[in-house]
Amino acid sequence: MSKPTKGDIVIELKDVSYVRLGTRDLESATRYATEVLGLQIARRGEKNVYLRSDDRDHTLVFSEGDPTRQVSGFEVPTPEALDHAAKVLDDARIAFTRGSAAEAEQRCVRDFISFEDPSGNHIDLVVSPHHRGQRYYGTRDAGITGFSHIGLCTTDAKRDEKFWTEVLGARVSDRIGDAALLRIDPVHHKVALLPSPHAGVQHINHQVESIDDIMRAWYILKEKNIRIRFGPGRHPTSGAMFLYFEGPDGMVYEYSSGVRVFSEEEHLTHLPRQFPFEPSSFCMWGSKPEVLEFGS
C-alpha cells in the first residue's frame, strides 16, 4: 500500500452498516440470533437470513458457508463519496471491485465497492443502505437500541491504524497497548482494531438501553449455558458497561450501554489517551476476559 499523495482527501465514512457472516448451520445461527441476541428476522433467502436490530433493513446477515468468510459494511454519505473512495483506493494502489447491480440488490444498497484492509479483513463501502418503514421489534425484549460497532483483528496494529486513519479517515479515541479504538462520528468508537495472529471480525456490538438489560442478559445466558467471555464490566476507555458472550461458529457478541459520545468540538479535537495492555484497561470493575485479543 502506498500513501495517498499530498492534497488527497481521505475516504469519508458515515457509519458502520452491517456484518455478513458465513455459518456452518444456518438454522442454528438464526435461532441464536432471534432467541438469544433478540434480533428480528427481516427476511429469508435460499441460503441466507437477514436480521434487524434497528430501523435499517438489516445489520447482520448469516449465509450458509465458510465461517471464515466475513464482510464488514460501512456507509459513505453520497454516490459522489463512493466514487471518491474508489479514486482514493486506486491512488493508494489498493485493489477493489465494484459491486454489480444484483450484488447491490442482495445487500439492499444503492451501490458499493469491496476491498481488503492490510490484514485481509473484507470491507464493503456502501451508499444508501435501505431503511424500513417499520420499527425494529426483537423476538425477545433484549433492550437493543441498535447495531453500534465491530472489533476487527489486525496482524499489524500500527500499520492498520495508519490505514484506517490516513485512508479511511477514522480518528483514534484511545489505545490499549497497540489496540486502537477508532471513531468515525462522535461515538467513542465504531471500530476496535485488536492485535491477533489472524484477520477477521473479532466481536459484534449491540447497544442496549441500560445496565438492567445487561444484567438481565447475564442471567438469561447463564440459564441457556451460553459461555460468558467477559463481564459484566465497564470499559475505562469509552465508559460503556458491557457483557461479551459466545455465539455460533465461535463469534463473540457484546451488549453495552453508556458509551461515551463526544461533542462536535471534542470529536474534532480529542487527543487519544494511552492505556497499558492489562486487565484494568479493559475493565475498571475487575472482570477478567476469556478473549485472546484482550489478553486472556
- Domain extents in the chain: 15-127, 144-294
Nearest 10 degrees: CA dihedral of 82, 88, 93, 96? -10
For residue 52, what pLDDT band results from cuts at 50, 70 and 90?
A: very high
287-to-7, 25, 103, 203 alpha-carbon distances in Å = 46, 32, 43, 18
What average pLDDT does the segment 275-282 reach? 96
- Provide CB contacts within 8 A for 234, sequence distance 6+: 240, 241, 242, 283, 284, 285
Q: In this structure, which CATH number among 1.20.210.10, 3.10.180.10, 3.40.50.150, 3.40.190.10 belongs to the domain 15-127?
A: 3.10.180.10
46 — pLDDT class (breaks 50, 70, 90) = confident
Residue 293 per-residue DSSP state: G
Domain 144-294, second-level architecture:
Roll (3.10)
Query: What pLDDT is attached to residue 3?
Result: 46
Give residues with Cβ within 8 angstroms of 94, minimum separation 6: 1, 115, 167
Residues 204-236 pLDDT 10s: 999 999 999 999 999 999 999 999 999 999 999
- Cα–Cα dist 296/229, whole Å: 10
- Residues 140 and 154: beta-carbon distance below 8 Å: no
- What pLDDT sits at residue 8? 58
pLDDT tops 50 at residue 21:
yes
- In 3D, which of 97, 110, 102 has the Cα closest to residue 45? 102
Q: 264, 164 in Cβ contact below 8 A?
A: no
Across 8-84, where does the E strand assignment appear? 15-23, 40-44, 48-52, 60-64, 70-76
What local confidence, expressed as pLDDT, does residue 175 receive? 98
pLDDT per position as a tens digit, 74-108: 999 999 999 999 999 999 999 999 999 999 999 99
The whole-number average pLDDT for the span 14-29 is 97
Asked whether residue 4 carries a pLDDT value surpassing 80, the answer given is no
Closest alpha carbon to 250 in 86, 29, 19, 101: 29
Tell me the average pLDDT of the chain: 95
C-alpha grid cell, residue 31 = 435461532
Q: How far apart are CA 285 and CA 275, in angstroms?
A: 16
pLDDT of residue 259: 97
pLDDT value at position 39?
98
Please report the pLDDT score of residue 157 as a whole number.
Answer: 97
Question: Is-above-0.85 flag for pTM?
Answer: yes
Share of the chain above pLDDT 90, in %: 95
Asked if 15-127 and 144-294 have one fold, the answer is yes
The proportion of the chain whose per-residue pLDDT surpasses 70, expressed as a percent, equals 97
